[in-house]
Amino acid sequence: MQMCPDCDRVYDESEYSRCPYCSGELSMETGETKVKNCPNCGGIMYWDDEWLCSNCDHTIDTDEDDYDFIAVD
C-alpha cells in the first residue's frame, strides 16, 4: 500500500503505477476508513470507541480524529 502525497489516499501500488484517485481511474466517492499505525507492532489500527490493532490487539485511548491516514474501501 502507498499513500499519495497529493490527496493522502491509500492505494495498492502493485495495481496502479500512479494514484488512481488523482488520475481519475477510481472515483473518490468510495467508502473511507480512518486508520492508524500501531506503535506496538506496526500493524493497522481501526477505530471502535478506541484504536484497536488488528494484529496485536494493542489499544490507544484517543479520539477518532487521531488517525494517521484514510484507507479507501
**pTM of the entire structure?**
0.57
Residue 28: which of 10, 47, 46, 5 has the closest Cα? 10
User: pLDDT (tens digit, 9 = 90+) per residue, 17-42?
Assistant: 888 888 877 765 556 788 999 999 99
- The reply to whether 20 and 3 lie within a common domain is yes
User: Per-residue pLDDT for 67 more than 70?
Assistant: yes
Whether residues 17 and 48 share a domain: the answer is: no
Number of domains forming the structure of the chain: 2
For residues 45 and 69, membership in a common domain is answered with yes
Mean pLDDT value of segment 5-11:
85
Asked whether residue 9 carries a pLDDT value surpassing 90, the answer given is: no
Domain residues for 23?
1-30
The pLDDT of residue 52:
96
> Residue 72: which of 9, 2, 4 has the closest Cα?
9
